[in-house]
């Protein structure tokens, strides 16, 4: 339980045994007085870079109005109360202790302690810890998006293809196809966070190409795809019109994913750098192409297209455990060195793109590159492919091949196992901070100093309080 700094102190749960009702009224009156307003107005003048979070625990002496007098001292000395609650004393069963969190520097803390001793018994205190990173420690950290709208700054840095095709691309000599590709690229380049994804009227040729891929892959899925994929594909058929004769609209798919796992789709013109692509995953944003491969060879594409994205990636992005696994790789990449990002991207490649798992004693595919490629899906599960256990330290050094089958495929017992291994691997990445995704603001909190870490701790306390309340109610229902 905590209070916003600008709201002033709030009481804890158990003041009643200290005859606190009367004092609480007095306290509320004090908080509403102009004295407190003046303190708020002057807070910037009194805040210095030396301030940090301090904790004071005290018990009341046997005098009327002791609590109000004590708290008034914080107001008069311009010390901002962040959190206040009462606790049953661990020292004397008959007493309660007041636990106060405040913003204070060492000088203020010493002064307030001296004044408090006249009215209360100070039991314990934890002086402010002003540990933090110096700005020079952040100089060499590559730029990374801090909020979801920052993806607008990097989503258009396409490295390959887009509206331009290589000479060996199946559609290179097809002017109609090239014009169509430019249309899709322009739509993606114009997209900004918050925009609805443009709905596409696909051509008859595009729908036919999609239909061939959809039909042939669905023959293999029952015996080759993991159970999570098989569970989610029918849901996509029901809610997003995944059908042989229809190419789903990305806006419909994005809404479906948002409700399932919080992931959303963002259209992209072509290949992004590993850093820019993984940064999107940190915000549960999947950069997705909207164009269709060339019709001359429906079962081959030299690049990700909408068949690969929708049939390979989307069904598993609708799975909570897999969605979290993907996001954690993205979060680990933010602010990491180029070498570390490459290692993370390689792990992503051999899991999210070409990963295998074991289910009911059988190998099954969960990688999108496999689940959208008929020939490689058959090869990976043929018994002739080289299979190794997924270990990020080993996997991150493996060469990624995009023109032929992989030399080796990595298998995990489950998404949870892969997630645990990636978490441990992410801890080895050298950067002077860690990050945490805030789903309420769709931003990342950079944890680099004591106040930022304390803020997370306060939120976790609140979440644990909710869990504790739920368990208490459940125990009452069960008669425990």
Residues belonging to the active site:
308, 313, 353, 372
- Residue 359 tokens read as 């289910």
Give residue for tokens 């050094």. Answer: 397
Q: Using only the alpha carbons of the chain, give its radius of gyration.
A: 29
DSSP H/E element including 122: strand 120-126
Burial (CB count <10 Å: 0-12, 13-18, 19+), residue 29:
exposed
Q: 175: left (phi > 0), else alpha (psi -120 to 50), else beta?
A: alpha
How far, in Å, CA of 419 to CA of 101, rounded? 36
Measured CA angle at 334 (ends 282, 140), to 5 deg: 170
How far, in Å, CA of 291 to CA of 289, rounded? 6
Question: Beta strand pairing status for 264-267 and 285-288?
Answer: parallel
CB 357 within 8 Å of CB 413: yes
Please give, one letter per residue, the 3-state secondary structure of 317-367: HCCHHHHHHHHHHHHHHCCCCHHHHHHHHHHHHHHHHCCEEEECCEEEECC
């Amino acid at each position: 339980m905590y209070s916003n700094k600008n709201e002033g102190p709030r009481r804890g749960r158990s003041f009643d045994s200290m005859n606190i009702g009367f004092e609480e009224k007095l306290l509320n009156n004090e908080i509403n007085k102009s004295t407190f307003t003046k303190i708020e107005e002057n807070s910037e003048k009194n805040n210095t870079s030396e301030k940090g979070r301090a904790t004071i625990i005290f018990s009341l002496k046997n005098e009327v109005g002791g609590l109000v007098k004590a708290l008034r001292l914080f107001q008069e000395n311009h010390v901002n109360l962040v959190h206040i609650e009462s606790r049953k004393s661990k020292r004397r069963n008959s007493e309660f202790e007041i636990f106060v969190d405040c913003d204070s520097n060492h000088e203020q803390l010493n002064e307030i302690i001296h004044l408090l001793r006249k009215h209360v018994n100070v039991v314990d205190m934890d002086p402010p810890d002003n540990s933090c990173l110096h700005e020079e420690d952040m100089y060499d950290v590559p730029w990374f998006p801090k909020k979801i709208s920052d993806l607008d700054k990097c989503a258009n840095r396409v490295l390959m293809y887009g509206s331009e095709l290589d000479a060996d691309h199946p559609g290179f000599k097809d002017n109609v196809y090239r014009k169509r590709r430019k249309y899709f690229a322009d739509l993606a380049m114009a997209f900004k966070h918050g925009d609805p994804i443009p709905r596409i009227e696909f051509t008859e040729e595009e729908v036919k190409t999609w239909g061939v891929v959809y039909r042939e892959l669905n023959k293999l899925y029952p015996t080759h795809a993991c159970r999570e994929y098989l569970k989610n594909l029918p849901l996509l058929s029901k809610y997003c019109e995944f059908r042989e004769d229809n190419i789903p609209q990305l806006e419909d798919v994005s809404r479906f994913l948002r409700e399932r796992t919080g992931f959303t789709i963002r259209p992209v013109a072509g290949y992004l750098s590993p850093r820019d692509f993984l940064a999107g995953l940190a915000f549960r944003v999947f950069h997705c192409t909207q164009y269709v491969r060339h019709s001359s060879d429906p079962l081959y594409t030299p690049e990700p297209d909408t068949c690969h994205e929708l049939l390979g990636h989307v069904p598993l992005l609708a799975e909570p455990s897999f969605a979290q696994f993907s996001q954690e790789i993205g979060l680990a990449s933010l602010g990491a060195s180029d070498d570390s990002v490459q290692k993370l991207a390689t792990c992503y490649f051999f899991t999210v793109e070409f990963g295998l798992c074991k289910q009911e004693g059988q190998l099954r595919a969960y990688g999108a590159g496999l689940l959208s490629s008929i020939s490689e899906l058959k090869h990976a599960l043929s018994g002739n492919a080289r299979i190794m256990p997924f270990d990020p330290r080993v996997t991150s050094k493996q060469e990624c091949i995009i023109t032929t089958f992989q030399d080796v495929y990595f298998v995990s017992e489950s998404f949870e196992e892969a997630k645990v291994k990636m978490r441990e691997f992410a801890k080895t990445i050298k950067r002077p901070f860690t990050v945490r995704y805030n789903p309420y603001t769709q931003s990342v909190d950079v944890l680099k100093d004591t106040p930022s870490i304390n803020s997370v701790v306060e939120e976790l306390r609140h979440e644990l309080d909710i869990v504790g309340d739920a368990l208490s109610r459940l125990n009452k229902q069960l008669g425990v």
